[in-house]
């Protein structure tokens, strides 16, 4: 009932029809679809309940980074259903927030030990670009990705990229992803999807969970390209199903061909908020307004202009005050802000919407770096805690490198170049001659950061980068 039938850019093909069970009721799903997407497409908004007040909970991030969609699957609790591929006969149940453990774990296979030279965690633009460099050398590379698909956030980006020709400017994000992914598939790189790295132990073992199999990875070098997650902001009713991260709406539409809602209020007019609003319109969804707390639009004016051409109002100096709804968003209230960001009494506006998308910033996914003991520093303009590193993206630990959003929120082109720099630096450490390639990419990164939008980033990077 929520399927997008036609799209101006994407060819939406669904896999073979299969059946899963949710709370005892048979639900249609498609192969290549995740459990959460199948449930949502079939009109199910409430996935679980809060433990004390039994408030309904739905999906929020749709990329495996939060806990909103966790359910009990075939008896196992705390499964992130937004990244779990649906399989014929799966039994899905709601769980309380504590997720009581199963009686027995006899069915789990013995852990599997893997020895490699480099393990890359995360197959977004940063991780894929690194793997694309490393594939041409005689070393063992393991690339792990928690989602069923490789590509990170690129696979849902239908807009054409700006930036540099070297990073495929003028090509749509998902097409860039296809090129990078195909190169990996045609190479000897050992890649694993549906594989979540969840623990970095003091003996430098990286623990990965792939389906029901524990993998213990022993590697000479670790490369974390784990990206970022969307920030939640505090307001009444922010847990009501139908409040999504804007990136989640993008995943639903552009990866799974599903409409996130009928009438949307977008919170945040940075690039992600503006781009996703336009993509919602392309999918035939009504965007009632974009509201932005700051006095100015944060994203590129070219994206804002596209929305204005469709008659979508962009209200600056305005924030979200409350979302109402019992099982799903039924209404949202916005409110004006003065120069000191205080709410202006009497400036409330009511919006008849069934969906509220939050595009209120991204936060680097540094959990594994923190476990590994890498030094982190809080830098607000880079999104939160980020690793201290040198110009080759080596962290405070000799064998641990980073690239992309996990090292500070930027965008996909810089993530790709960082992936190349860090992988070339590792190759040099192993003893391979890479000529001027690394320096060329460092210069390229500087060029990408020359625009006025990057000046704050460049200044902030200075706080966390040592020579
Ligand atoms: C939700 C979201 C929406 C965005 N939308 C836009 C947009 O519309 N337009 C735009 O220009 N930019 C957008 N961006 C920004 C841009 O896409 C990113 O800057 C870019 O993708 C960063 O690349 P990356 O490789 O660092 O991270 P990502 O592309 O996020 O890739 C990181 C990968 O690591 C995987 N991963 C994370 N943790 C683990 C783990 N523990 N184990 C295994 N795998 C793991 C993730 O599943 C993911 O595939 C968005 C970013 C996000 C987070």
* Lowest-pLDDT choice from 49-53, 127-131, 342-346: 49-53
329 with 405, same domain: the answer is no
- Alpha-carbon torsion, ordered 55, 56, 58, 64, to 10 deg: 50
Across 36-56, average pLDDT: 93
CA atoms of 369 and 340, how far apart (whole Å): 36
Per-residue pLDDT tens digits for 379-432 = 999 999 999 999 999 999 999 999 999 999 999 999 999 999 999 999 999 999
| pLDDT at 95 (0 to 100) | 83
Is 235 inside a domain boundary? no
In short, whether 382's Cβ falls inside 6 Å of ligand 1 is no
174 with 70, same domain: the answer is no
Per-residue pLDDT tens digits for 245-298 = 999 999 999 999 999 999 999 999 999 999 999 999 999 999 999 999 999 999
pLDDT of 165 higher than 90: no
The pTM score is: 0.96
142 with 171, same domain: the answer is yes
In short, whether 359's Cβ falls inside 6 Å of ligand 1 is no
Q: What CATH number is associated with residue 30?
A: 3.10.20.440
CA atoms of 221 and 116, how far apart (whole Å): 9
Q: Give the pair of three-digit tokens for residue 138.
A: 């005689």
| pLDDT at 97 (0 to 100) | 65
pLDDT of 102 higher than 80: no
Give the list of residues 6+ apart from residue 440 with CB closer than 8 angstroms, or none: none
For residue 9, give the nearest of 175, 126, 154 by alpha carbon. Answer: 175
Is 282 inside a domain boundary? yes
In short, whether 363's Cβ falls inside 6 Å of ligand 1 is no
CA 322 to chain centre: 25
For residue 64, give the nearest of 195, 156, 253 by alpha carbon. Answer: 195
Q: What CATH number is associated with residue 216?
A: 3.50.50.60
CA atoms of 277 and 442, how far apart (whole Å): 34
CA atoms of 328 and 191, how far apart (whole Å): 38
| pLDDT at 183 (0 to 100) | 97
278 with 384, same domain: the answer is no
305 with 376, same domain: the answer is no
Query: How many angstroms is it from 333 CA to the middle of ligand 1?
Result: 30
What is the pLDDT confidence band of residue 329, given thresholds at 50, 70 and 90?
very high
64 CA closest ligand 1 atom index: 47
Residue-number span of the structural domain to which 31 is assigned? 17-93
Is 284 inside a domain boundary? yes
pLDDT of 347 higher than 80: yes
Cβ contact 229:65 at 8 Å: yes
pLDDT of 174 higher than 90: yes
Percent of the chain scoring above 90 in pLDDT: 87
Q: Which of 10-19, 104-113, 332-341 has the highest mean pLDDT?
A: 332-341
Is 395 inside a domain boundary? yes
Query: How many angstroms is it from 8 CA to the middle of ligand 1?
Result: 24
By alpha-carbon position, which residue is closest to atom 51 of ligand 1? 153
Across 363-383, average pLDDT: 98
335 with 373, same domain: the answer is no
Residue 363 bridge partners (DSSP):
229
| pLDDT at 212 (0 to 100) | 82
| pLDDT at 26 (0 to 100) | 98
| pLDDT at 467 (0 to 100) | 77
For residue 239, give the nearest of 56, 96, 383 by alpha carbon. Answer: 56
150 with 41, same domain: the answer is no
Instruction: Give the number of domains in the chain.
Output: 3
Is 203 inside a domain boundary? yes
User: Which runs of E-coded beta strand occur in 201-317?
Assistant: 205-210, 213-224, 228-230, 243-245, 263-267, 286-292, 314-316
| Helix 271-282, helix 301-309: angle, nearest 10 | 30
Cβ contact 134:220 at 8 Å: no
pLDDT of 346 higher than 70: yes
CA 425 to chain centre: 26
Is 124 inside a domain boundary? yes
Query: How many angstroms is it from 86 CA to the middle of ligand 1?
Result: 22
Domain boundary among the residues 332, 360, 388 is at 360
Q: Which residue has the tokens 């996914």?
A: 365
pLDDT of 318 higher than 90: yes
Domain boundary among the residues 34, 59, 93 is at 93
Cβ contact 299:275 at 8 Å: yes
Domain boundary among the residues 360, 383, 403 is at 360
In short, whether 116's Cβ falls inside 6 Å of ligand 1 is no
414 with 271, same domain: the answer is no
More confident residue, 225 or 75: 225
Residue 73 bridge partners (DSSP):
76, 92
Cβ contact 119:144 at 8 Å: yes
Three-class SS state of 52: coil
DSSP sequence for 387-439: E-EETT-BBSSTTEEE-GGGGS---HHHHHHHHHHHHHHHHHHHT---TTHHH
CA Rg value for the chain: 22
* Lowest-pLDDT choice from 82-86, 156-160, 167-171, 243-247: 167-171
Is 143 inside a domain boundary? yes
More confident residue, 50 or 246: 246
| pLDDT at 105 (0 to 100) | 66
| pLDDT at 100 (0 to 100) | 74
In short, whether 419's Cβ falls inside 6 Å of ligand 1 is no
């Amino acid at each position: 009932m929520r399927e997008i039938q036609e799209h101006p850019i994407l060819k939406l093909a669904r896999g073979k029809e299969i059946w899963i069970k949710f709370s005892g009721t048979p639900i249609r799903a498609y192969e290549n679809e995740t459990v959460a997407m199948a449930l949502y497409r079939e009109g199910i908004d409430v996935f679980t309940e809060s433990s004390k007040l039994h408030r309904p909970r739905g999906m929020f991030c749709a990329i495996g980074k939060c806990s909103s969609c966790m359910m009990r699957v075939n008896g196992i609790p705390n499964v992130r259903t937004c990244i779990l591929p649906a399989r014929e006969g799966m039994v899905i149940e709601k769980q309380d927030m504590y997720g009581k453990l199963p009686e027995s774990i006899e069915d789990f296979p013995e852990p599997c030990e893997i020895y490699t030279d480099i393990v890359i965690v995360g197959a977004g633009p940063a991780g894929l670009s690194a793997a694309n460099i490393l594939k041409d050398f005689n070393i063992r590379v393991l690339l792990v990705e928690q989602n069923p698909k490789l590509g990170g956030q690129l696979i849902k980006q239908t807009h054409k990229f700006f930036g540099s020709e070297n990073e495929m400017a003028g090509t749509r994000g998902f097409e860039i992803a296809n090129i990078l992914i195909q190169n990996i598939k045609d190479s000897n790189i050992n890649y694993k999807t549906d594989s979540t790295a969840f623990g970095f132990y003091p003996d430098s073992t990286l623990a990965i969970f792939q389906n029901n199999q524990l993998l213990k990875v022993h590697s000479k070098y670790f490369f974390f390209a784990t990206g970022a997650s969307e920030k939640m902001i505090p307001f009444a009713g922010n847990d009501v199903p139908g409040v999504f991260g804007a990136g989640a709406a993008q995943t639903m539409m552009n990866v799974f061909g599903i409409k996130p809602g009928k009438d949307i209020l977008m919170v945040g007019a940075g690039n992600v908020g503006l781009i996703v609003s336009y993509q919602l319109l392309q999918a035939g969804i009504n965007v009632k307004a974009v509201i932005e707390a700051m006095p100015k639009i944060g994203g590129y004016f070219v994206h804002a202009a596209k929305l204005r051409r469709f008659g979508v109002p962009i209200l600056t100096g305005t924030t979200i005050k409350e979302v109402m709804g019992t099982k799903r968003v039924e209404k949202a209230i916005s409110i004006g802000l003065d120069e000191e960001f205080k709410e202006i009494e009497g400036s409330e506006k009511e919006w008849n919407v069934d969906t509220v998308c939050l595009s209120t910033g991204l936060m680097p996914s540094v959990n594994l770096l923190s476990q590994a003991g890498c030094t982190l520093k809080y830098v607000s303009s880079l999104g939160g805690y980020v690793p201290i590193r040198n110009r080759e993206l080596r962290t405070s630990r000799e064998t641990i490198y980073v690239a992309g959003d996990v090292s500070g929120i930027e965008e996909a082109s810089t993530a790709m170049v960082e992936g190349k720099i860090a992988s070339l630096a590792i190759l040099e450490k192993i003893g391979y001659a890479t000529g001027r390639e690394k320096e060329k990419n460092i210069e390229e990164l500087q060029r990408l950061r020359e625009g006025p939008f990057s000046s704050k980033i460049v200044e902030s990077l200075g706080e966390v980068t040592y020579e």
